[in-house]
Amino acid sequence: ETGTDNGKVIESTTNQVIHQKTEKITDITSSVLIKEAVDTVESYQGLMSLYEMYYGIDLRTKDVGPKLEEGSLDAIATDQSLYYVLNKQSLIDLISNLVSSSITTEIKQDMSGLKQKINSYQQSITSADQNSMLLAEKLNGTTQQATSMNENLGEYLKGLAKWRENSLKLVEEQQVLTTNHAGEQTAILSLDSGIKSLMMQSQSLVESSKHSLATSDDVYKTFDQINGQAKEIQDSGTTIVSKADLLLNDFTKKMEDDKSFSKNFTKILANSRIGDRQNEMLYDFLASPVQKQNDGVIVAGNAFTPYLIVLTCFIVALFTAYAIANQEKKRMQSDHFEEKFSLIDMNVPTTVVAFGISIVEGISIGIISGRLLKFGQDQSLLWIAFITFIMMAFVLVSTYLLRQIKMVGMFILLVFLSMYLFLTEAVGSKVDQMSSVGKIRQFSPLQYIESFLNDFISGKDTGKVIFVVLFVIAIIGLVSNLFVWHKKWEEKEVNDQTMEHSG
């Protein structure tokens, strides 16, 4: 039996019921085909992106087809492609170009700054040359005027001498004074007018001399400015040369490391082959860009500089002086039955302790810093001697200030430390020598110590004056500590005198 039920065909055969349903499959088949086509095209697009990245060409342009008909993809690969880097360019040359470009960029920046300073220096020299020519012209004019005035003055003096001779003759001959009186008055008037003219010329010469003096002061100031700029240029040139030497050494070491890396990398590529085929997985890994953020942090390889040595010496000396002064204060408070000694005798123990501690600290810091700086034996002994004298000067002067004027002395020491910390160029700040900050920086004693240590490390023999000054300061500090006077000693002396009178 057959029948229909709401569009469904129902067929009954024996005892079985068969249901048949009519359904369109066109939509389902179309979606499957479209999805498969999209997946296929997506794979080809990804492959095309890999080809474009590897060969460095744009496959979407119209001129790619004719080029592919004439040759292969290897022939049309660009110089910036991965194919060119991995197959045609030497890895050693690539690394050398990258390292040399970074080095030359830094050197070019320093050289451009040096060139600007040299241009400014040349402009200052040109201005000074012009001012010197003007000054020379004015000096020549002034000299000519002075010569002319000297000649006129000589003539007036000759006339005055003749007039004096004539007057003496008149007195000797006792002639009639009435007759010669008119001539004498005429000569006096003539001489008076000549003297007035000479005075006017003298005033003109004085004004011209003042103007010449002002011009010469301007020229001297210009010369001083040129001298400061020349010293700054010399320091910049020395810094560039030292940086160039350091960069050259680093570049040589880098080239040796890169050469070893190139050999090892070549061995890795040779060992990575799978039979006769290349290891595509390794190449894909090498071709994948590494996602990394550059924070722009530059870490110094060797930050042990004279700045740290000066700072260490001063801080150690400051705490040593504070401990000595505090210990002396406690001793004075506890010793109520101290015998009467002279001023020097009372200060000898503290002075000897400060002197001995400064020598021990100087030798210790000198040995440790000399080891870190890798000096030779002779240079290491000189370095230890210099550091010892520096510590003697620091400790003895700091001890005297804290013992004699206490908090005022601590304030003075902290001012010196603050001036050095904020005005030194060792922390990366550049100070103009002609500015107000640069002039204040000239009063920082620690800055001269840093320059002295920097010259010694660089091998320059320019620290004799600083060494003599340190020696003199150490002697002055030693003698000053022997004459420290405390108010308590004065009160004790008054009490002793009172007891003697009352006895």
The CATH 1.10.287 portion of the chain extends over: 91-285
Average pLDDT over residues 7-32: 58
Separation of alpha carbons 392 and 137, rounded Å = 56
Neighbour tally for 348: CB within 10 Å: 14
Render pLDDT for 175-198 as a digit per residue (tens, 0 to 9). 554 555 555 666 666 666 766 777
Query: Is there a contact between 225 and 434 (Cβ–Cβ < 8 Å)?
Result: yes
Pairing of strands 8-13, 2-5: antiparallel
Sorting pLDDT into bands at 50, 70 and 90, what band is 283? low
More confident residue, 380 or 168: 380
Mean pLDDT of 376-387: 88
CA distance 76 to 157: 103
Candidate CATH numbers 1.10.260, 1.10.1660, 3.90.1420, 1.10.287; the one for domain 91-285: 1.10.287
CA distance linking residue 384 with residue 362, whole number of Å: 7
Instruction: Identify how many contiguous H helices and E strands the chain contains and give both numbers.
Output: 14, 3
pLDDT for position 241: 65
Tell whether the model's pLDDT for residue 301 goes beyond 50: no
What is the C-alpha to C-alpha distance for residues 181 and 170, in angstroms, rounded to an integer? 10
Q: Where are the beta strands (DSSP E) in 234-379?
A: none
Residues 42-76: b if buried by 16+ CB within 10 A, e if exposed: eeeeeeeeeeeebbbbeeeeeeeeeeeeeeebeeb
- The torsion angles phi and psi of 459, rounded to 5 degrees, stand at 90, 15
Average pLDDT over residues 49-75: 72
Helices (H), 56-90: 64-70, 82-83
pTM: 0.42
Is the pLDDT confidence value at 364 over 80? Answer: yes
